[in-house]
């Protein structure tokens, strides 16, 4: 969505999910003077009249991804004022990599009173060679977008290789940009004078697909997923097979999870792509709680992404934390309990744990879940799950504001 700011023509995005984060980003783009029109999973973005370089603090503070706009704003307007971003409290996730990269491209950047003010003296950014100390997805995407309209060639080394980076590069290419190497650790961008509108289909969400694979495994249910890209789930599939769960690709765009007779524990360490994704860590922890034997999960990407452990223990799991490691001793069965979702993926992990638990589980703070899953309870009900969304007083309210889901 922020990439569409690079073109002064209408861009149409397809396969856009109805998420709370999408709604928040729409509000931010409108505040920048962008025209939006949506219908179903189709979203038209017209940045022809992009006029404002500053996004409102009250909107950006709710959504970390909004900071991505700093690159396109600099490229189009020569100036950007972005509040330091918010989002799930799973780690520091600083923006130094973004800032240093933009400075290498000739931008002057000042951070005062929580606002990042970046501007170009000559009107356009300049191509540069940029090495990222860490293969950050956000920094890679921000700098890649900024470089599409810069003068000269930009080379990003130690770039993130996630499928979402490649998808954004393909979108930018569809608008007329000159990008090579996306999906590898070195991306080369040759700036062009302008970009044009396009009609683009977004890739399927690999983490949502992985969530349903785990849901099938933890409930010992055979589930077939369609409209997925199996190659994006290689690491997760490998760990499922290590546990004793088979995953079969019947067609190039489908996966079928086939639980085994015995599920055994395994060790997992999160890494940037193509390593095991940090966004799947909490979900696999739920599965490993009821696998035979011991397991070890090491979280190396975010320093505060084990907050779901006390909630799983409340459901009868046996998990001990040592630094960034979680030692899991498998138990025969989880028990339903009232629990609190602490972030987006923790919410999904508690949902799948509740599906396999004996008795009733009530999960609070579902606003996290709605940031990354479109109507997940309806999809699970289609598979036979028994769950209902309610608020704390049992009153009927709209889904985005619901406070808990009984599983």
* Cα dihedral across residues 265, 271, 275, 279: positive or negative: positive
Contacts of 395 (CB under 8 A, 6+ apart): none
Catalytic residue among 11, 12, 88, 291: 88
CA-based radius of gyration for the chain: 22
Concerning whether 291 is annotated as a catalytic residue, the answer is no
Let me know: does 52 contact 81? Beta carbons within 8 Å: no
Give 318-327 contacts, CB < 8 A, sequence gap 24+.
318/289, 319/285, 319/289, 324/298, 324/299, 324/300, 325/296, 325/297, 325/298, 325/299, 326/285, 326/296, 326/297, 326/298, 326/299, 327/294, 327/295, 327/296
Strand 338-340 versus strand 186-190 pairing type: unpaired
**Other beta carbons less than 10 A from residue 112's beta carbon:** 7
Tell me the catalytic residues. 88
């Amino acid at each position: 969505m922020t990439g569409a700011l690079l073109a002064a023509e209408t861009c149409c995005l397809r396969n856009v999910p109805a998420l709370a984060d999408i709604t928040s980003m729409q509000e931010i783009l409108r505040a920048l003077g962008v025209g939006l029109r949506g219908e179903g999973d189709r979203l038209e973005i017209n940045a022809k009249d992009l006029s404002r370089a500053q996004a409102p603090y009250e909107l950006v503070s709710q959504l970390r991804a909004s900071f991505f706009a700093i690159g396109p704003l600099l490229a189009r307007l020569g100036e950007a004022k972005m509040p330091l971003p918010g989002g799930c409290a799973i780690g520091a996730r600083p923006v130094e990599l973004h800032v240093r990269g933009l400075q290498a491209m000739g931008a002057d950047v000042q951070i005062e009173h929580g606002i990042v003010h970046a501007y170009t003296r000559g009107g356009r950014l300049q191509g540069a060679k940029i090495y990222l100390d860490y293969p950050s997805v956000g920094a890679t995407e921000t700098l890649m977008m900024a470089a599409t309209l810069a003068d000269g060639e930009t080379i990003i080394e130690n770039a993130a290789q996630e499928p979402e980076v490649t998808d954004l590069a393909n979108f930018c290419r569809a608008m007329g940009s000159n990008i090579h190497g996306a999906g590898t650790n070195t991306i080369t961008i040759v700036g062009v004078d302008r970009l044009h509108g396009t009609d683009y289909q977004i890739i399927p969400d690999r983490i949502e697909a992985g969530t349903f694979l785990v849901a099938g495994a933890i409930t010992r249910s055979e589930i077939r997923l369609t409209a997925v890209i199996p190659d994006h789930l290689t690491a997760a599939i490998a760990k499922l097979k290590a546990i004793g769960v088979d995953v079969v690709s019947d067609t190039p765009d489908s996966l079928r999870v086939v639980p085994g007779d015995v599920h055994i524990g395994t060790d997992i360490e999160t890494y940037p792509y193509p390593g095991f994704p940090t966004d799947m860590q909490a979900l696999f922890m739920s599965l490993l709680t009821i696998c035979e034997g011991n397991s070890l999960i090491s979280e190396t990407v975010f320093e505060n992404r084990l907050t779901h452990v006390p909630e799983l223990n409340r459901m009868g799991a046996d998990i001990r934390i040592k630094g960034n490691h979680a030692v899991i001793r498998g138990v025969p069965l989880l028990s339903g309990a009232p629990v609190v979702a602490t972030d987006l993926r923790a919410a999904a992990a508690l949902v799948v744990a509740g599906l396999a638990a004996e008795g009733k589980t009530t999960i609070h703070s579902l606003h996290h879940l709605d940031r990354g899953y479109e109507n997940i309870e309806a999809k699970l009900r289609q598979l036979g799950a028994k769950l209902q969304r309610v608020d704390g007083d049992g009153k009927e309210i709209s889904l985005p504001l619901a406070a808990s889901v009984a599983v």
